[in-house]
Amino acid sequence: MGNLMEPSSASVYDGNLASDRVVIHVTSHQRIDQQILVKWRTKTFIARIVEDQEEWIPQFLTQAANFCGENVSRGSPKGSLGSGTTLRFWIDTWLEDKPFYLLFPDLFKLESYKGCLVKDRCTGGGEFSQWEWSWIRPPSTPMEIQQLLTMLTKIQNVTLSNQDDSWRWNADSSSCFTVKSMRIRLQNASYGPTHWVFPWNKFAPHKVNVLGWRIKMNRIATADQLAKRNISTTLSLCPICKAQNETAEHLFLLCPFVDYLWSFILSWCRVSTQKPCNLKDLMEVHQKANLNHWTQKLFQHVILSYIWVIWKTRNDSIFLTKNPSLRRAIKDLKGTSFFWLATRSNIPDLNWEKWRTFSF
Ligand SMILES: [Zn+2]
């Protein structure tokens, strides 16, 4: 691991792909493992192609791609064609986003020298595009002919130059390998580029944000979720209204008790917005209310305090046999949210009167 943290020795040979910016962002153990592996593989990849071109095998990147998920590392290091004296025609990725041996597998089987360079096949030099093949037998099946025609279309405008071949890291706009670009790739591969991100609020304590995040994912210990996991409970009804089955949606959105609490919040914060129709909407309702950035954050803080108070009311009802009281819930909501705000923010002139009347 110590060696991995040092600048790549390949930077001596190829500053294009090597990077001295070796910073691992700590996100999860699994991701760290992936990042270290990919970095190690990329460094080894650079070192091997620079130091001993005959040594390098195509399976190398395929292994990295398989380990980290398809499309994570494959296609990222891409060759830029110059003289064609170091890039391998079939094995390296240089024209398309995949190497030719994957794009045209039937033709690759017919190639007599599978590790041939681009220059071995493109014999026209820089003057014109001319191709010379070395088949075990000429392509003859319909699939082979079709692949040959497609490949010829792709390479028809390729010519060589006097410049050296080089490598680019396509996942970063700088063309250099960076851990950040790799991390983004891994994140996208793990969750997809459009996965939902919980809108964290720094005014509310971490535990409250986590509760909100778990509620959105329906991962809190409501009666229906406990039953799903075969955990027997004596109560299946909502402990607040005792009229409906307890689900996260009922508890935070549909229960008559929270209906009153919700109406109170809207009038207290002087916000006019539709009542959220699901748990995701509840976590994003502050974004949809027509508020400026600052008031939006404060309103979100109120919403997080609201879910905290509901959860507390529900737990007090079950474990302390306290009867739910709307009056107490409202008092809790205002007091707790003010306490958190006063201790976790540096809002100028913040005082109880200002918060009580939500005058921002
Ligand atoms: Zn209820």
CA of 163 to the centre of ligand 1 (A): 73
User: What is residue 17's predicted lDDT score, i.e. its pLDDT?
Assistant: 41
CA of 29 to the centre of ligand 1 (A): 40
Encode pLDDT of 6-33 as tens digits: 333 333 334 344 444 444 344 556 666 6
Question: Token digits for 95?
Answer: 């024209």
CA of 236 to the centre of ligand 1 (A): 11
CA of 356 to the centre of ligand 1 (A): 27
Query: Which sign does the torsion angle of CA 10, 11, 16, 22 carry?
Result: positive
Judge whether residue 51 has pLDDT over 60: no
CA of 234 to the centre of ligand 1 (A): 16
Spatial distance between the Cα atoms of 332 and 271, rounded to a whole number of angstroms: 20
CA of 258 to the centre of ligand 1 (A): 8
Report the predicted TM-score, pTM, of the whole model to 2 decimal places: 0.53
Spatial distance between the Cα atoms of 247 and 136, rounded to a whole number of angstroms: 67
CA of 251 to the centre of ligand 1 (A): 6
92 exposure class (CB count in 10 Å sphere: 0-12, 13-18, 19+): buried
CA of 280 to the centre of ligand 1 (A): 19
CA of 247 to the centre of ligand 1 (A): 9
CA of 252 to the centre of ligand 1 (A): 9
Spatial distance between the Cα atoms of 161 and 17, rounded to a whole number of angstroms: 21
- Place 144 in a pLDDT band, splitting at 50, 70 and 90: very high
Encode pLDDT of 246-265 as tens digits: 999 999 999 999 999 999 99
CA of 259 to the centre of ligand 1 (A): 10
Encode pLDDT of 68-96 as tens digits: 444 444 556 778 888 888 888 998 888 88
User: What is residue 36's predicted lDDT score, i.e. its pLDDT?
Assistant: 67
CA of 190 to the centre of ligand 1 (A): 37
Averaged pLDDT for residues 187-203: 74
Spatial distance between the Cα atoms of 46 and 243, rounded to a whole number of angstroms: 66
